[in-house]
Amino acid sequence: MTEPRLRQRPTKASHFLPHVQGLRAIAVMLVVLYHVWPGRLSGGYIGVDIFFVISGFLITGQLARELDRTGRIALPSFWAKRARRLLPAAITVLVFCALAVLFLLPLSSLVSEAKEILASTFYFENWQLALSSVDYLASHDATTVQHYWSLSLEEQFYIVWPLLLLGATWLGVKFFAARRWLPMVGIVVVVSVVSLAASAFYTATNPAEAYFVTWTRFWEFGAGAILALLPRLRPTGAWWPNLIGYAGLAMILAAAWFFDRDTPFPGYTALLPVIGTAMVITTDRAKHWWDVGSVLGGPPQRFVGDISYSLYLWHWPLIIVAPYIPGWGLSGWNRVALIAICFLLAWLTKKFIEDPVRTWKFFTLRRPRITYLGVIGLMAVSSLFVGAAWVVNNPRYEAEAAELQQIRADLPDCFGALAGPDCENPELAGAIIPSPGFGNADSPGHVECFVQLNESAVKACHFGSESPDAPRIALIGDSHAYQYIETLIALADERGWSLTTYLKGACPWTTAPVSGPSPAFTASCVDWRANLADELSAVAPYDVVFTAALAHTPYTVSAADHDEVLRDGFLEAWKQAAGAAIVTIVDNPDFVEDPNKCLRNAAPDACTELRADVLAQTDPLALAGAMAGATVLDFTDSYCDDTVCFSVVGGANVYRDQDHLTRTFALTLGPAIGDAIAARLP
């Protein structure tokens, strides 16, 4: 019995490729529209998953045919072709991003941009993002190269997949001579099933990291690979191709429309767009205008599909850079113009960079190692541009950090929260300290004292006086308590207090149920609070506990008795303080967007938010404080007037992101916080 041969891949002139190009067009437009108009197409991110399935189908078909024809895979040639196809355009955009860091982006972005551009250059950006996603204190402002995570994952697929197929071929030759293709299909299926199971589990337990890591996405490539290895799965006849194809399109569009940021993804929910994509790929019928192949394979669709790689590369950096270009931004028709610019740059990149380098005889007629030397050269170019941006900007970064440190050591008169109707400093007129370009970097130190999202062990840090007779103060809470750590440390040093901190991201000191980004986080918050209760019962009671919390924390409490339950949750937790006086604070306004972006191009008066939009209607922590007889500090009048809340107060830049205070502004609250604590000491 002869072994069945794999169906040959059609040439570009065939009737099959155009509808795949149309599918690429759908994928890239879903991603672009999702990013340009956030919220309008809430599930547009599934366009990346469409690309993964297409890549799995095309690459596996190519490799399988080579194995079928020659019994081997010319790995050096395969990898060289992939490099010539993908790297030139990718490095071009990375150079643009490095120039944006040098000339356009805020100084505070230097560290994260440099780190991620290098990660993207060497194709491990997905792992860089996975590692930073579990760091609550990491800057979560998107960089210009964040979208390179999917390209990094694809490159990892291109490295691993041929080796996997080669291993399967060896098994087939050695143990399945009559059916040597069976191990290949079997291994692809097993790897895909295991990856899908891992994706579902990891998405449920650690969704932020699961979105980026390699093994949670391999099954999507595997879905396309199975189609390439089993051509009999493709429907035949006059009606089946269209029925399956249009059903697949409906599944893709349904996912793009109904999915959102709260959808657990990837995991099992990714089955909808992945299976939908596979269904469309199998249907290449294009005999009539209503056939799926005809609808997807028209000239406009093929054009967009042809430039889809460059379009994907360019759209995201332009979105990130646009708000920092004076007079541009991302409002109104500017978004439409941005898309037009993306198309123009994508076409130019395709015509003058992608295609020429891919077909340049200098590389194609020489051994693959010549291409690899070119790869090294291109990566070196990207690294040199990043290095240049670092060399130029890092001295400015260090200088501004040093200047800010001097200001914090000796705060100007009537600065920040110290300002008021009876206290104004003319020297601060027009000042913004720290500058909008550096505001995002003005964060507290002592990150070792901060418990990360999925961790539950209590970290107790001690500052100030070591005298056994010194007043004992504790700082307890979430990141909105952590933002006062430098203020409390300065007070402890100044007033001879002994300070101990207990801090965990997104986990306020309450017994009320808190939801979070994953079940793992929710469990860690419950465990941390239990561990904290044990810790507080094991140490001598503190004299005063200062606590704060984000007022908009996502509690899992019904609307009917929301305020009372949350208030009682704080009251119950405070009993663990064993009689210590409680000093707490009404939460600061929570801006819709990071005001530093606005302040870069506009006056402070134009960078305000309506009071009703950014202040919590009721702060449960303040309600608890009033009932428990705690000292409740309320600085709302420092942040806001009767109508709006300010991003700059008394010359001080208030925010380091949309809801956390700059370290500098928090220090200006020190005198009032210190006096409130001192008044409660025995």
| CATH number, position 442 | 3.40.50.1110
% of residues, the chain, pLDDT over 70: 95
- Is the same domain home to 139 and 46? yes
What does the alpha-carbon distance between residue 607 and residue 597 come to, in Å, rounded to a whole number? 9
Tokens encoding 538: 């094991």
Find the domain containing 502 and state its range. 432-680
| 360-413 per-position pLDDT tens digit | 888 888 899 999 999 999 999 999 999 999 999 999 999 999 999 999 999 999
Q: Is residue 583 part of a domain?
A: yes
Mean pLDDT, range 274-287, rounded to an integer: 89
Phi, psi at residue 544, to the nearest 5°? -140, 140
Higher pLDDT, 207 or 570: 570
> Is residue 4 very low, low, confident or very high in pLDDT (cuts 50, 70, 90)?
very low
Structure-token pair, residue 9: 């891949």
Confidence of residue 178 (pLDDT cuts 50, 70, 90): low
Residues 224 and 141 both lie in one domain: yes
Q: Both 80 and 147 in a single domain?
A: yes
Q: Residue 420: inside a domain, yes or no?
A: no
Q: What gap in Å lies between CA 622 and CA 380, rounded to an integer?
A: 55
Q: Are residues 219 and 116 in the same domain?
A: yes
Whether 61 has a pLDDT exceeding 50, the answer reads: yes
Contact (Cβ atoms closer than 8 angstroms) between residue 667 and residue 411: yes
User: Domain ends where: 389, 408, 423?
Assistant: 389
Same domain, 376 and 447: no
Is residue 274 situated within a structural domain?
yes
pLDDT of residue 14: 33
According to the model, what pLDDT value does residue 446 have? 96
Listing DSSP states for 294-332 in one string gives HHHSSHHHHHHHHTHHHHHHHHHHHHHHGGGSTTTTTST
As a whole number of angstroms, the distance between CA 29 and CA 550 comes to 37
β partners of residue 451: 504
pLDDT (0 to 100) of residue 233:
80
The pair of structure tokens assigned to 391 is 């060399």
Same domain, 452 and 595: yes
383 and 439 belong to one structural domain: no
Q: Is residue 426 part of a domain?
A: no
Question: Hey, which residues does 548 pair with through a beta bridge?
Answer: 477
Q: Do 385 and 439 share a structural domain? A: no
Domain match, 501 and 615 both: yes
Domain-embedded: residue 5:
no
Q: Which structure tokens are listed for 448?
A: 């070792």
Is residue 113 in some structural domain? yes
- Residue 2: pLDDT band by 50, 70, 90 thresholds? very low
Within 13 Å of residue 309, how many CA atoms lie on the same side as its CB? 22
Instruction: Kindly state whether residues 479 and 539 are assigned to the same domain.
Output: yes
**368 alpha-carbon distance from chain centroid:** 36
The predicted structure's pLDDT at residue 562 = 75
Residues 247 and 310 placed together within one structural domain of the fold: yes
Residue 10, pLDDT score: 35
Domain contains 6: no
Q: Which three-class secondary structure state does DSSP give residue 429?
A: coil
State the virtual CA torsion across 407, 549, 456, 488 in degrees, nearest 10: 30
Per-residue b or e along 335-355, where b marks 16 or more CB atoms closer than 10 Å to that residue's CB: beebbeebbebbeebbeebbe
Number of residues in the chain? 682
The answer to whether residue 397 sits within a structural domain is: no
- In this prediction, residue 177 carries a pLDDT of 64
Distance (Å, whole) CA 153 – CA 169: 24
Comparison of pLDDT for 559 and 497, the residue scoring more: 497
C-alpha 426 chain-centroid distance: 41
Average the pLDDT over 14-31 and give the result.
84
Segment 509-539, tens digit of pLDDT: 999 988 877 888 889 999 999 999 999 999 9
- Other C-beta atoms lying within 10 Å of the C-beta of residue 69: 11
For residue 394, with 0-12 CB atoms within 10 Å meaning exposed, 13-18 middle and 19 or more buried, which class applies?
Answer: middle
Q: Please say which residue of 320, 354, 389 terminates a domain.
A: 389
Mean per-residue pLDDT, 265-274: 96
Residue 372 shares a structural domain with residue 460: no
End of a domain among 368, 389, 410? 389
Q: How many domains does the chain have?
A: 2
Q: What is the dihedral of CA 122, 128, 130, 131, to 10 degrees?
A: 140
Residue 311 confidence (pLDDT) above 80: yes
> What's the pLDDT tens digit per position in 133-163?
866 666 567 899 999 999 999 999 999 999 9
Rg (CA), the chain: 29
